[in-house]
Amino acid sequence: MTAPPGTGRRGTAPLAGGPHGPDALQPLLATVLDALRTGARARGGPLPAGGPEAVTARVTAALGEVFPDHGHGDHEALRTLVHTLTAGAADPADPLCAAHLHCPPLAVAAAADLAASALNASLDSWDQAPAASALEALLTRTLAAEFHDTPHPDAVLTTGGTEANHLALLLARERHGPHLTVLHGANAHHSIPRAAWLLGLPPARSLPTPTGTLTPATLAQALATTTGPVLVTATAGTTDAGLIDPLDALADLCDQHGADLHIDAAYGGLLHLSPRHRPKLAGLHRARSITIDLHKLGWQPIAAGLLTVPDTTLLAPLTHQADYLNAPDDTQAGLPDLLGRSLRTTRRADALKIAATLRSLGRDGLTHLIDRTCARADQLARLLEAHPAFELHAAPTISTVLFRPTHADDTALATLRRTLLQGGTAVLGRATADGRLWLKATLLNPHTTAGDLDALVNLLEGSTHR
């Protein structure tokens, strides 16, 4: 008797793990890869054409019944859904998809992510993730040592910069109490004041950054008029323009006033790996905690965040005990206690894809990608600066380029951006600087070529003349 489609032995759906898991996955992967190809061809550009209503209509039509009474089988389900999602995707691997800090993941990282999904390790107790927990510990200590020249640096993996910033404020609150004042530049990520609110701290104080970065003079004035414990948060890579605060000077002020320093380096932190760009981050190592995102300039599939600290004892407030996961006698007997490695309980083995990338590329390979990506941003800036139809805001600090058509007002610029999105021809962001609206190209694709940049400029030039 033949099993129904999408079922395995004994009439049950096959599993991804176990000795038969690879055999069950292999034919499904062929279907997935083919659907990725056909979906990309159907999309034909960086974004699906037609805007939100058209995309929703196509998804609705393709799915029909989302939860049918009788299944269609594995291959049909994958073929339909992967094709539909791909055809309707914003593809960060397309050189004209450059709106956000949204990277195209490396193939080796995505392949490792498949293995993590198949094994389904849960890093809340050792008996659910024996090797994965050892790998994560090795990886986090290794990465923390990149940013802290101290005897016992450590790090925890997070879902991204928002969670890492939240943890940083939580740790500071536990060190200093509930009356902690958080000072941040107006250029800071929105997750900083939000974390203060979530943690029940006094409202975070936003300091003006009219030039785009937090100046030492502004911080000095704020520290001089603030009583009680203070956490200063600086930014190494703003979301709007990729700017980096003067970290060393801000660290000096924190030392003088006894304030803690947290640096949100979600975007720019990995510049530290590059000898060419490392000087931009002078003072980074002086922070009490650092946020890093490897799903930006690390080219990892989402999610791959990190919070690093100079000493593992700073993570002690995360300690938590639940008998079914880390009973005291098990811990005393030598089973690792994993609950204190996150605020989350169930956690997947995100360390695997990061470790696979580091092993595959090595320091020199990853540095090459960082340098190449930043060089392309410099090249785009030069093209725009030399072009009479465009105005460049400033040379890029990392890989974000702000510019605008020379004779367009803010309304026309916003309309131009939406027109490009509606047509599916280019995905550009928007940012406000110097009281004006600017188009934003955030380059995170190391495969972008000089020809791709020319094509983008030519497309924009033609669009501004319509």
pLDDT digits (tens, 9 = 90+) for 263-322: 999 999 999 999 999 999 999 999 999 999 999 999 999 999 999 999 999 999 999 999
Please compute the mean of the pLDDT values over residues 162-181 and round it to a whole number.
Answer: 98
What's the confidence (pLDDT) of residue 465? Answer: 60
**pLDDT tens across 79-89, in order?**
999 999 999 99
d(CA 231, CA 183): 6
- Average pLDDT over all residues of the chain: 96
**pLDDT tens across 225-274, in order?**
999 999 999 999 999 999 999 999 999 999 999 999 999 999 999 999 99
Backbone angles phi, psi at 398, to 5 degrees: -120, -95
Of the chain, the percentage scoring pLDDT greater than 90 comes to 96
**pLDDT tens across 402-418, in order?**
999 999 999 999 999 99
What's the confidence (pLDDT) of residue 466? Answer: 54
- Tell me the C-alpha to C-alpha distance, in Å, between residue 422 and each of 84, 156, 234, 257: 18, 40, 36, 51
Please compute the mean of the pLDDT values over residues 169-175 and round it to a whole number.
Answer: 98
Compute the radius of gyration of the chain from its Cα atoms: 24
Q: pTM for the complete prediction?
A: 0.95
Of the chain, the percentage scoring pLDDT greater than 70 comes to 97
Please compute the mean of the pLDDT values over residues 150-158 and round it to a whole number.
Answer: 98
Please compute the mean of the pLDDT values over residues 413-429 and round it to a whole number.
Answer: 96
Please compute the mean of the pLDDT values over residues 61-84 and round it to a whole number.
Answer: 96
d(CA 220, CA 207): 11
pLDDT tops 80 at residue 29: yes
pLDDT tops 70 at residue 7: no
pLDDT tops 60 at residue 5: no
The alpha carbon dihedral of 330, 331, 335, 340 has a sign of: positive
pLDDT tops 50 at residue 4: no
What's the confidence (pLDDT) of residue 462? Answer: 84
Band the pLDDT of 220: cuts 50, 70, 90: very high
Contacts of 281 (CB under 8 A, 6+ apart): 236, 244, 247, 265, 268, 269, 271, 272
d(CA 336, CA 349): 16
Closest C-alpha among 199, 156, 193 to residue 177: 199
d(CA 145, CA 230): 26
- Is the CB of residue 110 less than 8 Å from the CB of residue 271? no
Residue 296 CA from chain centroid, whole number: 5
What's the confidence (pLDDT) of residue 122? Answer: 97
